[in-house]
Structure 1
Amino acid sequence: MANSMKSNNAAIVAIQQMLQERILAEPALAIKLANPNKSLENAINYLCHEIQKSGVCVVDDQTVLSILLHFYDEDSIEDGGTPINCNIVVSKPELTEEDKDELKEQAMEQYKQEQLRELRRQSAPKVQPKPTTTAPKAGAEINVQPNLFDF
């Protein structure tokens, strides 16, 4: 489980934060989370097993929190057995209107810069290659045919 959890550090941090926020709302939960027979690794393993049993691939925060709290509530629940090799992906929160406006401004500025570069490229004088005369190679015979009308 330790190897698969390294790739899910963002998910582990998000789960810990979710549980900490819940502890702030419900301080008695801290006692359940401090149970020496239960660990965060076991809770995450249980979570993965429960999601796998349900047959879904995506669950929301509330479902995750419910499964984790159920794991910590019940003393008889085991972690689900062998660790599941899975990836847990954390969705990003919705953007605020200020964030959206800022991203829109950045995109507009980037677009303006790209358009300016394109205009400059198009209006730049085109470099004409210098005409070169080809001289016969050294040692090569010049193929000249006599002409009766040349004087």
Structure 2
Amino acid sequence: GINLQKIKAQQAKMEDFESKQSKYGRIYKVAGPLVVGENMSGSKMYELVKIGWDKLVGEIIKLEGDTASIQCYEDTSGLTYGDPILRTGNPLSVELGPGILETIFDGIQRPLKEIAEKAENVFIPRGIELPCLDQNKLWDFVPS
């Protein structure tokens, strides 16, 4: 006979696979900082995406059918047709907290001093990810 448990397990695996697949689109075209992605249905305007194998930061600026036009905020050289585009489901946003006023950031809130120390270079490496703010720093707050 047919084993119902095996069928349910296989169905769960397929649902898990489909949910992961739905998080990814792929590059259709690259023109300077503009990346066009396909298989992007379900995306939202201004959604944060990670482009290519280096997970470059980008933002959806136009949706049409299952394609999305994406503004990439890093150098797109090396990106090619078929590379993955991870949809985060979140808008591009900034983190607020202690240290924000005395830290110098690039345009996507990456701390420049920490990047220079980690990269040991004056140029920002593609796809570098660092915490925006020191997570251990405390507010100077005195309740009144």
- Normalised by the length of structure 1, the TM-score is 0.22
Larger radius of gyration: 1
Higher relative helix content: 1
- Normalised by the length of structure 2, the TM-score is 0.23
